[in-house]
Structure 1
Amino acid sequence: MLKEQSFLLAQDREKVIGFMSFRPHYMYEDLNDRVETIYVTTVIVDQKYRGQGITTHLYTEIEEITKQRKLPIMTRTWSTNDSHIRVLHNIRMQEVNRIKDGRGRGLDTVYYRKDV
């Protein structure tokens, strides 16, 4: 539910051109780990503004929040979302889990994490 999340906006003058929502106290669990994180749930950038570093800037803002709270950043995406994965690699997020066919046949769900 979005009302239980925080968000950041990227604007060009009065126009919203990017949006990132996140859960500031998300408990990530897998077989080996249970840790409180700041979990990015949604990233959207207006198509006309893509490729200009807006997603990277939104993640930079999240990093500033995490430095204050000393929590890792986490997110997930699908294995074919090349543009998002490229940003995640550029900001040094690491793949920590992959669910094969998690979003359908041939479409894995991929989790990323960065300790700040």
Structure 2
Amino acid sequence: MQYYIVDKLDDDEKLEQVLEILIQCDQEFFPSLSSKRGSDTISQSTRLLQYLSEKDLEGHGYVLVEKEGKVIGFCNFYPTYVIDELPNFPEHLHVDTVCVLPEYRGQGIAKNIYAKLMEYTRETKGLEYIGLATWSENWIQEGIMSSLEFEEIGRLENARDQGVDTVWYGKKIR
């Protein structure tokens, strides 16, 4: 498998492959990524395409994971970010979305994406920290964070729904 970073999704074939991954993973997010964009009268794929377009406009970067020329997983991230709700956590690379096609899960791809991001953060961005937000019911992400020695750095109770918190993780990498 090949892991590499791009500044934006300007290759139509790669964009289409990332969109297909998002369609398959969309309902696993809480709330779903497509529910945050547009009305129900707009198709899921159009809403997710809007999501990706917004990320490009916001200056996100992407880690793409390819196997035999096909994108099977990806991550989008803010190259530099400050969490307003956590003023004591410094500027950092902020992971936004990580998705891997279901048939490739359990092979360490997400961990390798984070390893690629930590390397990029150290060598290219010169930042000392990497961080992300998730929800309290995301047990898979929690396990990945634990195995990579990320620490919980903040929690906003009931931010996503009653009983579902937003949880921030961070790690010093320098």
TM-score by length of 1: 0.94
- Structure 2: runs of 5 or more not aligned: 1-53
The reply to whether residue 49 of structure 1 matches residue 120 of structure 2 is no
The reply to whether residue 108 of structure 1 matches residue 165 of structure 2 is yes
The reply to whether residue 30 of structure 1 matches residue 49 of structure 2 is no
**Over residues 7-36 of structure 1, what are the superposed CA-to-partner deviations in whole Å (9 max), with x where a residue is unaligned?**
011111111111101001112233551521
The letter of the residue matching 2:156 is I
- The match for 2:118 is 63
- Greater strand content: 1
Aligned partner of 1:91 among 137, 148, 158: 148
Identical counterparts, % of pairs: 33
**Over residues 61-106 of structure 1, what are the superposed CA-to-partner deviations in whole Å (9 max), with x where a residue is unaligned?**
0110122213300001111111111001100100000111110011
- Structure 1: runs of 5 or more not aligned: none
Higher mean C-alpha deviation, range 62-71 or range 43-52: 62-71
Secondary structure at 1:100's aligned position in 2? Answer: strand
- Greater helix content: 2
Q: Which runs of 4+ in 1 moved over 6 A?
A: none
RMSD over aligned CA atoms reads: 1.3
**Over residues 41-68 of structure 1, what are the superposed CA-to-partner deviations in whole Å (9 max), with x where a residue is unaligned?**
0000000011110000000001101222
Query: How many residue pairs end up in the alignment?
Result: 116
TM-score by length of 2: 0.64
